[in-house]
Structure 1
C-alpha cells in the first residue's frame, strides 16, 4: 500500500477566506481520502474496478448531497463546504468524486427541487447515507452536447407510462438502485422520471475498455417498454430547464474537484523534483523545472480564488450558469496542463502507478468532456458576453 504524503498548496493564504467549519470539513474528507482511498486506488484503477466498499464511508462523511437540508437527510451545508469536499475527493481520484457528484447534484438535487414531498421523503434520506445509490440519465448515443434532440420517450398507459430508449456514459449505472431519467412525452416535452432497478425492461450494461475513469463504474441505461408509475414523474419541472439546472450544480462541483487533481499532481511533482538528483543536484534547482512548478502553483492559486468567489456567489444565490461554466472549463484546462507538465518532471516514473499523475491525466480527459465539453463551455461564455448564440 502506498503512503499518501500530500500537502495542500495555498500560496495566497486562501484558507484565511474560509470559515472554521469549512476547514474542519475539508480536513475530515482529506484524512478519509488519505486513509481509505489513496492506499488502494492505483490497484483498483489498474483492474478497472470501482471500490464499492467506499460508498459507506462517503455516506458517513456526508459527501452525498451535503447541501440538501437536514430534514431530508442531507448535511445542510453551504456551497463552499460542498466544493471543498469535491476538491478533496478528486484529489484522491476523479472517479470517486464523480460518484459523489452524481449522487448529490444529479440525483438528490433534482428530487429535492423538482420532486413531490412524497418523493423527497422516500428517496432522499436513503440516498444521503448511501443505502440507495442513483444515476442520471441524459446523454444518449446520438445526443450528447445537444440534449434537446433526445429520443428516449414515454407514452401514457393509464396509471403508468411506458418508457423506451437508451442513455449512455452513465456514471454509477451498473450498481445504481434508481435512475433520474430525462425523456420526452408524446407532445415532445421533456420530463424527469425516477426509474427503479427491477422494473421489467430496465437494464444497465456496464461500459468496458475505458482508459479513463477506470476506477469508476460507467454503463448504459436501456429502456424497453418499462412501466414507470406516474407518481415517479418529477412534478416540479418541464423542459430542458430540469436537466440543465442539475448540470449547473454538477459543474460547480467539478470546478472544485478538478483543482484537487491539479493539486495532487503539483504536490507529487514538487516532492519528486526536490528529491531527484541529476548532474549532481536536485532537478528542482534547474530553471526549466522551476518554470514548470512556478506556472503550476500560479494557475492553481488563480483557480482557488476563482472557485472561492464562485462559492460566495452561489451561497448568495447570485452565481449564474455562465459563471459556473467558466469555472468548470478553467479548472479542467488548468488541471490537464498541470498533469502533463508534472508527468514530464517525473520522466519515465510519471507513467507508472507508483505516482498518481498518469491516472489523474487520463481521468481529466473525461472530466473535460462530461457535464459539457470544453468547447461547449467556451461557447456558453461567448454567448453570455456577446448575446449571440453560436450553437445554431
Structure 2
C-alpha cells in the first residue's frame, strides 16, 4: 500500500513586502506545473492579500520536497527561513487555525473563511483535489464557523475593511461626506465599501471591469474606463486599491502626482501604486496595514485557551477520519474475505449433505468459519499496520 502524505507550505509574515511582491506573483499556471512535476497528486492554492500557501497530498516515494520548495519560493539565502513546511497533523492544525482567523494579522477577522472556501471550490472545480483534501477543507470551513460562533459578537464582526476605514477616519478627521475611490470590487473592496457606508461617507467611486456587480444606488458610482479615473481621483479625498495587476495601475507615465488624492491606501499585491508617483502624499501599503493590524488586534486572552483546545480537538477528530480513509483498502479486503469464506463453507455443506442434515452441519461448521475469518482478518490488519509504520 502506498503511503500518502499531507503537507502545507508557504511563506510567513517575516518576508518583506518587496520580496513577496517579486517572488510570489507567479502566474497560476506556473504553480500548477511545479506542483505536478514535483510529485503532488492533489493540491489547493490559497492566495490572499497577505499569504500564499499550498496544501497538497503526495505519495512519499515520488515526492521531491526540496525541489518543490526551491521552485515555488526562490528566495535569497537569508530569507529561506521565511518558508515554512508542515506535514500531516501540523498541516491540518495550520489550516484549521487559518479558518478560525487565528493566523491572520487581524486575529478573528471574518473574510478569510470566504477566501478559503473559494480557493477549495476553484481547485475542486478544476479537478485538483482528492477525497482527503475535500474532507480537510470541508472540516476547516466547519471549524471556522464553529470558532466564529464561540467568539463574542463584537470580535466575530471585525474585518480588515473596518481597519482601513478606521485609519482613513484618523487621517481625514472624519469620513462623513468624504469621497473615496475604491479600485477593485473583490472581497476586500466590498468590505471597505461596507464600513465606509456605516461611517456615512459621501460618494464612493468604484473602479472595476465588472460593473454589473457594483450597487447602482447612491452613494455608489461605478467606473469602468481608465480615462475617467484621473478626473474621479481629483474629486476624491482618498483612494483605496484592493486588487493588483501585472504592472502598476498608477505609474508616472499614466498620472501625475497632482491628480492623486492626499491619502492613498495600496493593499494590492503586486502593488498598484508606484511609490515614485506618491511623493508628497500619504501612502499606506499592505505591510503598513499588516503591522497596524497586529498592533490593534482584538484581545483574545480570555478566549485563547478555549480556542486552542477547540482546534486541538478538531485536529484529532480529522486525524481519526483520515486513518479511516487509509483503512479503506483493508476494510474492503476483510469484506471480501468474509464473502469468500462463507461461500466456501456453504458450497461444501451443500455438496456433502442432504437437505435434512444441512442445518445441523451449518451450525457445526460455524466455529470453523469464525476461526478462519479471524485468521484472515488478523493477517490483513497486521499487514496494514506494518505498512503504516
TM over 0.5, shorter chain: no
* Range class of TM-score, shorter chain: under 0.3
TM-score normalised by structure 2 residue count: 0.22
Rg comparison, structure with higher value: 2
TM-score normalised by structure 1 residue count: 0.22
